[in-house]
Chain A
């Protein structure tokens, strides 16, 4: 049993050639211990998927060797593929086949004897809780259910090594917990070895061992506890009377002795620089009643500390002109009994909320909860089935272009023109909002300087690093100084550092009086919002400040629940009520 399940020795892999050559893996050497869960953690573009595909023999490596369960992945790909279970990122479910037919197909392909099937199916359906849905088409399942079915298909014949490529992306917290339970059951019952990649840092702590991958290089391999240990004595939680966490976080982030500051519930979590010992009295002299407490380090702290590059100005935030105090009264966004149906399917069920001026308002929910549909109706991209929406006093579907000129919109995939340069993109978007002449020039310079894009001005947007793409998209949405900003899943697939940068910028906007509506499926980001609604299956489960919503899940066992705990409690409460 001491033989590692997977050994990579100095693996190199790059794509493309010449100028566009992209190095995906650069001398990766790792081992995966048998009978345990190893997490492969890294931001998008770190090389996680490439590594997984190499291990399955789906790609040819440029150098090095990979040994899977004692087999050479390059020489014996067929044997390797027969021995491992692999679940690609977009799992290969046939959406036009039913749950049962998908299982049958993979059982046939894996050669599971007919007699063994009923028992195996029953076990898998019980674990995934899909038993009531066996005759439903896979395409009609929710995102979480699809992912569980995908896992069931990969487990139909228990493999000795299971490779999971980002199995939990975009999956709701309840399904995420279930997926982890299934994985651990397999490890304990079957002695399976698991290599699992993820971009969620909180999941790292559920792994037995973690491999940190960044830009094709291994930054470290150890148990999550070992990573955290290095941070002991540098992680603190700060709270101040009468100062909202967001303001406090903004203050702390500017402090030279603090490397990182994020909102964590009602407090701000900081990492102090090496050798700096913060004191409650002197940390922020201007703030009254500051409390400072040492906190237990988490994996994320170690991750940020290792990855943060002091040379890269991560917090590029431009000056934002204060909006003139509102000349109109009333809330900038009002939603009343909004409903949207697609045929028989009700995507959004009579939801109501309102957003005040200068607020950051969050729409939280898993993929498929109805966030994007709601969002599109608000922006006037989709007609309503019934109900009423007013944005800046108008219904954007019927409003004049002038009303649209007061809102900014950043789409999920950053709708930029990939083959135009950064400057050309900015010029186009500013022209689309009727900026001309010196005013246009001024705004373009503001964007290039403020977002530190000047050095990339003549680079095509498509070849920018992801974090810079996000900056450019943000800048494009702000060219005309909108008073209301819509941000659809702005942090999806973006690494933790870029997410921090994003929230710092959004905070600055709200401080300047801009109203921000943002959707996200990262539960912990909810704490950056002033108020939020949690959506599931098209309905609003809860509305309120992050503090209020978390308070609902408070129990004697769990006095300080996280937003994710609150979400799960809400969903389960709804299910028992139904």
Chain B
């Protein structure tokens, strides 16, 4: 009866407080649209400057191969100085310079060199641009060679296949990761705030003097938010699959299992924060710094964990979102890859056990001292 009363009360509070509904259901929409449409890690429409010292048929053909690409937006400059000026002013992101010996080199040895300048302020973008230009150059050269019945003097030919995300659409790997971010928000941020609110409004003092014990109190708090978080998760997945056309290749049960386990970890973390801080504002700040930001940065959601420095890679192991992001990315794009699944479930399980132990210790000590 006590537990039921507590759960009923939490539900009523959730229903009457628009902000918790907003975090669970509006936030996913906002984040999905932001990351689904707004943020893209693909190189597209890169403004490029072309400097052609002595134009002829070959240079025109080379340039034309860029005109028809989705990746570039070429622009002609008369001199390298003009182009460099444009680069400095960020009107273009790179320069391709075909010197006067382009055609003669091409005829003599098929090794027509081009000069590339790339604005490397954004190193990532620069690397992508550079790679794309190189690819375009090589493909033009081999095409030229084929047309002229000659073979390209390359030692090995590269045949590339892209697996799991064949179209290389970054959205397909960002959106599954978002599910983990959104669940972190509902699980940790919301829980941290609602328990802190009880302290702040003095209702905790009244609850503590009822026969309600700590376990019932915590379970009563967690059950409604567990379902709220799972609801938010299903909603996000539905949006991802039907609105953003992200493929879902794994099994639904595996998804439910992984997110349920993650939700428990997130809730435990939220509880721990609120027990320590007891003030809504501080709890919110701490939850964002301790759960949301690491989930964003250190989970492999955007930044690849393997390319992080070793000490940071160690730190990512205590970020629960890292395990879920990894499971989700494989569930969505590759299907049920059980070794990956169980390894990550194990990671979350260990975190859950540790957090539960800490919460229990802290909560039982949780009096007014």
Binding site for B on A (CB under 8 A): 53, 56-60, 78, 81-82, 84-97, 101, 104-111, 137, 153-154
Of A78, A94, A111, A154, the most chain B CB neighbours within 10 A belong to A94
Contact status A111-B9, CB under 8 Å: no
Task: Please name the 8 residue pairs, one residue from A and one from B, whose CB atoms are nearest each other, closest first.
Answer: A108-B5, A92-B206, A90-B202, A92-B203, A109-B210, A86-B209, A88-B205, A82-B211
* B211 contact set on A, CB distance < 8 A: 78, 81-82, 109-111
Does B272 lie at the interface of the complex (its beta carbon under 8 Å from any beta carbon of A)? no
* C-alpha gap A53/B208 in the complex (Å): 11
Contact status A92-B207, CB under 8 Å: yes
* C-alpha gap A89/B367 in the complex (Å): 16
19 new A-B contacts, CB < 8 A, other than A97-B9, A101-B12, are A58-B205, A58-B209, A58-B368, A59-B368, A78-B213, A87-B206, A91-B206, A92-B202, A92-B204, A96-B13, A96-B16, A97-B13, A104-B5, A105-B8, A105-B9, A106-B210, A109-B211, A137-B16, A153-B206
Contact status A108-B202, CB under 8 Å: no
Contact with A along B202-242 (1 / 0, CB 8 A): 11111111111100000000000000000000000000000
Contact status B5-A105, CB under 8 Å: yes
* A96 contact set on B, CB distance < 8 A: 12-13, 16-17
Contact status A88-B9, CB under 8 Å: no
Minimum CB–CB distance for B18 against chain A, Å: 11
Contact with A along B1-14 (1 / 0, CB 8 A): 11011101100110
Contact with A along B127-151 (1 / 0, CB 8 A): 0000000000000000000000000
Q: Which of A84, A95, A111 contacts B209 (CB 8 A)?
A: A84
* A94 contact set on B, CB distance < 8 A: 9, 13, 203
Given contacts A58-B209, A59-B369, contact A97 B12 (CB under 8 A): yes
* B1 contact set on A, CB distance < 8 A: 108, 111
Contact with A along B176-209 (1 / 0, CB 8 A): 0000000000000000000000000111111111
* A101 contact set on B, CB distance < 8 A: 9, 12
* A84 contact set on B, CB distance < 8 A: 209
Q: Give B14's nearest chain A residue, CB to CB.
A: A96
Binding site for A on B (CB under 8 A): 1-2, 4-6, 8-9, 12-13, 16-17, 201-213, 367-369
Interface SS of chain B: helix
Contact status B367-A86, CB under 8 Å: no
Minimum CB–CB distance for B181 against chain A, Å: 28
* A91 contact set on B, CB distance < 8 A: 202, 206
* C-alpha gap A174/B201 in the complex (Å): 25
Contact status A108-B4, CB under 8 Å: yes
Minimum CB–CB distance for B214 against chain A, Å: 10
* B209 contact set on A, CB distance < 8 A: 56, 58, 81, 84-86, 88
* C-alpha gap A57/B206 in the complex (Å): 12
* B207 contact set on A, CB distance < 8 A: 92, 109
Of B2, B6, B8, B368, the most chain A CB neighbours within 10 A belong to B368
Minimum CB–CB distance for A74 against chain B, Å: 11
Minimum CB–CB distance for A367 against chain B, Å: 16
Contact status B202-A59, CB under 8 Å: no
* C-alpha gap A59/B366 in the complex (Å): 10
Q: Give A53's nearest chain B residue, CB to CB.
A: B368
* C-alpha gap A57/B369 in the complex (Å): 11
Contact status A109-B201, CB under 8 Å: no
* B13 contact set on A, CB distance < 8 A: 94, 96-97
Of A53, A89, A107, the most chain B CB neighbours within 10 A belong to A53
Please name 22 pairs of A and B residues whose Cβ atoms are closer than 8 Å in the assembled complex, sorted by A: A56-B208, A58-B205, A58-B208, A58-B367, A84-B209, A88-B202, A89-B202, A90-B205, A92-B202, A92-B206, A92-B207, A96-B12, A96-B16, A97-B12, A97-B16, A101-B9, A106-B210, A108-B5, A108-B8, A111-B1, A153-B206, A154-B206
* A137 contact set on B, CB distance < 8 A: 16
Contact status B369-A60, CB under 8 Å: yes
Minimum CB–CB distance for B10 against chain A, Å: 10
Of B207, B208, B213, B369, the most chain A CB neighbours within 10 A belong to B208
Minimum CB–CB distance for A170 against chain B, Å: 14
Minimum CB–CB distance for B205 against chain A, Å: 4
* B208 contact set on A, CB distance < 8 A: 56, 58, 81
Q: Give B4's nearest chain A residue, CB to CB.
A: A108
* A107 contact set on B, CB distance < 8 A: 5
* B203 contact set on A, CB distance < 8 A: 92-94
* B204 contact set on A, CB distance < 8 A: 92
Minimum CB–CB distance for B2 against chain A, Å: 5
* C-alpha gap A93/B4 in the complex (Å): 18
* B213 contact set on A, CB distance < 8 A: 78
Q: Give A79's nearest chain B residue, CB to CB.
A: B211
Minimum CB–CB distance for A398 against chain B, Å: 34
Minimum CB–CB distance for B25 against chain A, Å: 19
* A82 contact set on B, CB distance < 8 A: 210-211
